[in-house]
Chains A and B, each alone.
Chain A
Amino acid sequence: MESIAIRRKLTDRAMTGLFLFAAILVVAPLFLIFADLLWKGAKELRWSLLTDLPHPVGETGGGIANGILGTLTISGLAMAVGIPVAVMTGIYLAEYGRGWFASIVRFCVDTLAGVPSIIMGIFGYVLVVLPMKRFSAWAAAAALAMIFIPIVVRTTEEMLKTVPHSVREAALALGIERWKATLFITVRTAWSGIVTGILLAMARILGETAPLLFTALGNQFWQSRLDGPIAAIPLQVFTYAISPYEDWHDKAWAGAVVLILMVLSISMAARFFTREKKWKP
């Protein structure tokens, strides 16, 4: 009897230790990655990184200013198209969507959300690059919008569904037209959650690389037109990382630091928005 009890206790201890170990292993890469980013990125981190164009191989200095502008341009375009489409679709699914049409739309949204991002690159290529016969910011934006839209549709629908039914009833009972009640009361109530969804989706597309490879293509110089190849930070990080040159590797790390700062600051902003605003008297 005694020995069985001891064995059970020991097994319990051992398993507890294993679970703890698993948890440590799960978060350890995060610390390793951040440490390496700071360590290896520090070498090339200076002001000119944010203000200068890339320099050719062998020349020191140079920056990723065109990539920063390009990333913001492409993501901005994608969001300008994506936000209205996604939010309105989310409103449709949450407020009106019943029956077969809504089910099919929901199915499509779920499907799109699971499509690998490289395939969205093919979409941008076939839809925009082939007919225009040139790589462009437009093609990249089309690919990113396809990633952006399903994420935002889902969060918008979910957030609207958290608004209690009593809120909609109260609005209708005041004699407010339904469309106004939906936009100015229901959507407004869920607004911070919807904005969080938009920000998280934005953070996601800022860091996407694969869909840009054959849509934006990348560019060594400034690009003032939307219908020509354009630079983007993730593309620059990729190109520098797989190049055979030492100094370009350093630039890849520095670019990665800039990229991760952009992505994380937006994720943080998203967290800030979700935080329930509690009234303190």
Chain B
Amino acid sequence: MAIPTGNLKDRLFERATALFAGIVLALALLLFALLVRESLPALKKFGFSFITGTTWDPVAETFGALPFIYGTLVTSTIALLIAVPLSVGAAVFINDFAPPWLKGPVSFLAELLAAIPSVIYGLWGIFVLVPLLRDHFMKPVTRVFGWIPLFKGPVYGPSMLAAGVLLAIMVVPFILSVSREVMATVPQRQKEAVLSLGGTRWEMIRIVIGQHCIPGIFGATILGLGRAIGETMAVTMLIGNRPDILLSIFQPGYSMAAVIANEFTEATGDLYLSSLIAVGLVLFLITFAVNLAARWILTRLVAHASRGI
């Protein structure tokens, strides 16, 4: 009996899919290579002082990126300080307190929050959030606590605080969903064990979350940090765009993404453009490291959970 031979097509198809996977690999390498190549003039000229330099002066062609790194870190920190407690609290509420009919709608709303384009957040930030913060938070606070360097006036409105608050709203959905996933890995029987011993629900949460979810929530936080660091439009529109290192969070600042967004098309001169791309390279490396850390923490946690907590 003649049975026809050959699965040449199978091999061709597999090769074809591998070829496309190779394209994705090549794109990632290309992105990195282009960033490095275009940054080289600036990095050669300034060396390590590109990261430590505090002067960003296009006229004098002196470029130091520290003010942007500082602004990025301050706004991201403010964002996390607000977003993490809120997301974790909301995650506990949705997972353990909300009646079943409420869970769907609340997570749906959080998903919507994640779907809003960042330029719309920025628009809302300029015209609604900034005036609100300026008149009802920043001004009263400087009046009373103005002597503390962190809250020093004068108050303009656009500031590192405003950018941080808006960033907090934007990263909440991500931290929330990862926290919920982490909390869902705690076996129900563990929670029931605490309740059956006569513990209140808060005690159950404190014990179970405290023992099992801290690393996961930490991973979620790092993931949120990765998003906050790279966010461009909302920060550009709210941070005030002033390349100085100021202690007061009520003062304007500048972030890495924002300086690229604002100055790229105006960059006259090769060194200026190269310096902006070098800022991009630094931003790339920081987010890369942060995301890698988050993934590492979360996958380790998953491995841990599957072994049984």
Contact = CB atoms under 8 A, between A and B. Distances in A.
B122 A259 contact: no
Interface stretch (A42-50, A54-62, A101-109, A190-198): A101-109
Given A249-B127, A260-B120, A109 B24 contact: yes
A29 B119 CA distance: 15
Interface string B80-122: 0000011111101110011000000010011111011111111
Nearest to A241: B123
A102 B21 contact: yes
B18 A237 contact: no
Name A's interface SS.
Answer: helix
Nearest to A106: B21
Contacts, number: 255
Contacts of A33: 116, 120-121, 124
Nearest to A218: B265
B184 interface: no
B64 to A, nearest CB: 20
A224 B115 CA distance: 30
A267 B115 CA distance: 8
Interface residues of A, number: 88
Given A19-B92, A118-B230, A241-B123, A214 B35 contact: no
B13 interface: yes
A125 B264 contact: yes
Contact of A96 (B17, B94, B122, B260): B17
Given A122-B280, A234-B119, A11 B31 contact: no
B117 A23 contact: no
Contacts of B18: 92, 96, 101
Contacts of B186: none
Given A110-B295, A177-B10, A27 B116 contact: no
Interface string B220-236: 00000010011111000
20 contacts: A19-B89, A26-B87, A27-B113, A29-B169, A32-B124, A109-B24, A111-B28, A111-B288, A116-B232, A118-B257, A118-B260, A118-B261, A120-B31, A182-B13, A204-B115, A207-B119, A237-B120, A249-B127, A256-B119, A259-B119
